[in-house]
Amino acid sequence: MVTTTTTTNFTTTKLTTTTFAGFCSGNATFTTPQPKKKKGKKTARPTTTQERVPWTKEEEEKLAEAWVTASEDPIVGDSQPYGSFWEKVRAIFYELMESQTRNADQITSKWRDIRLKCTEFGGIYNNLLNIRKSGSNDFDVFKAAMDQFEKTTPTRKAFPYMKPWLKLKDTPKWKEQTEGSSQSSGSKRSRNPDGTSQQSDGRTHIDINDDPIDLENDQPLRRPVGRNKAKKVASTSSNSSVMDMFGDKFDRYVQLQETKAEVMTRMEQKMIEAQTSFQDAQETLQTKTDMEILKMKADDLEGEDLELFQAMKESVRA
């Protein structure tokens, strides 16, 4: 009796060694095998260490600190072009980290994610702060903002950039960026990832020496709260940050949330590794089966059986 086995995701049905033994003894009958898709050259998976290493919490915090330092430089922050600003940010970041493990693309990409999520969270926090009930404190508002962010954002994940947000939220350049700026009549404004704006009279000027800008991700950021309300909130908070006001309590909460985020990241990484391992196992089994087919002899075969066997070998070689 002939037995056949089908391996999931194989491009064609493969026969076991037992089947081939029956085939060669002349006791097997077969149907014409389905055509096998031509194999292409295997593309190597990326192995660059930098691409695989997740950003640490320290790196994220230092990047926010580098952006703040560069944006508060009166020359770099306001007068220098986009490329020069990010050269300054990278230089400060490398100095703070005492290493250059992240390249320019990685830094700007991470910053865009930090900016997007911190702006989203800041809008939620400020809105809740303006409508908070009597008796609730800033820490209560902060926890409520954390819960709302996790429930309402598309990813349904906890806010991952608490310490970067604390470094950014009270700085002048960040406030200017997130609150929006009045637009001059007769001119158009667009924003770079550093938060600086550029004017145009309707004509497009492109500097080919500048770094490329992701226009989709670098639109003017949403205004979370008006200036008057922001000033009112600032006056009642006595210029104290949430971290300063709640000390150890806040630190424990931040640590808990960061641990939660890290666990989720590790789980996602393990899922990716498991999927890769499964694909590698499939490829190994496919290769082993192909080699078994190529080793088989057809000395005792003739007629349709011989034609079928030759077709199977050609399918493997294709």
Q: Please tell me the predicted confidence (pLDDT) of residue 213.
A: 38
The answer to whether residues 172 and 44 touch, using CB atoms and an 8 Å cutoff, is no
Measured between alpha carbons, how far is residue 307 from residues 33, 278, 281, 303 in Å? 11, 34, 31, 6
Q: Please tell me the predicted confidence (pLDDT) of residue 245.
A: 53
- Domain-by-domain residue ranges, the chain? 17-40+272-317, 56-239
- DSSP tag of 266: H
Q: Please tell me the predicted confidence (pLDDT) of residue 268.
A: 75
- The residue ranges of the chain whose pLDDT is under 50 are 1-35, 37, 41-44, 46-51, 181-190, 196-225, 227, 230-240
* Pairing relationship of beta strands 197-200 and 188-191 according to DSSP bridges: antiparallel
Tokens of 6: 């089908």
For every residue of 279-311, which 3-state class applies, written as one string? HHHHHHHHHHHHHHHHHCCCCCCCHHHHHHHHH
3-state secondary structure of 5: strand
Residue with tokens 């060669």: 24
The answer to whether residues 261 and 160 touch, using CB atoms and an 8 Å cutoff, is yes
List the alpha helices (DSSP H) in 29-168: 49-52, 57-71, 82-97, 104-130, 138-152, 162-168
pTM for the full model? 0.51
Q: Please tell me the predicted confidence (pLDDT) of residue 112.
A: 95
Strand partners, 189: 199
The answer to whether residues 102 and 93 touch, using CB atoms and an 8 Å cutoff, is yes
Tokens of 160: 């991952």
- Residue 188 has φ and ψ, to the nearest 5°, of -115, 145
Q: Please tell me the predicted confidence (pLDDT) of residue 134.
A: 83
Q: Please tell me the predicted confidence (pLDDT) of residue 90.
A: 94
Give the type of residue at 199: Q
Rounded to the nearest 10°, the torsion over CA 87, 89, 94, 95 is: 110
**How many Å from the N-terminal Cα to the C-terminal Cα in the chain?**
29
In this predicted model, what pLDDT tens digit does every residue of 217-274 receive, in sequence order?
A: 343 344 444 545 544 444 444 334 555 555 566 667 777 767 766 777 777 778 888 8
Other Cβ atoms closer than 10 A to 145: 20
Q: Please tell me the predicted confidence (pLDDT) of residue 102.
A: 93
Instruction: Determine the length of the chain.
Output: 318
Measured between alpha carbons, how far is residue 52 from residues 106, 269, 276 in Å? 11, 10, 13
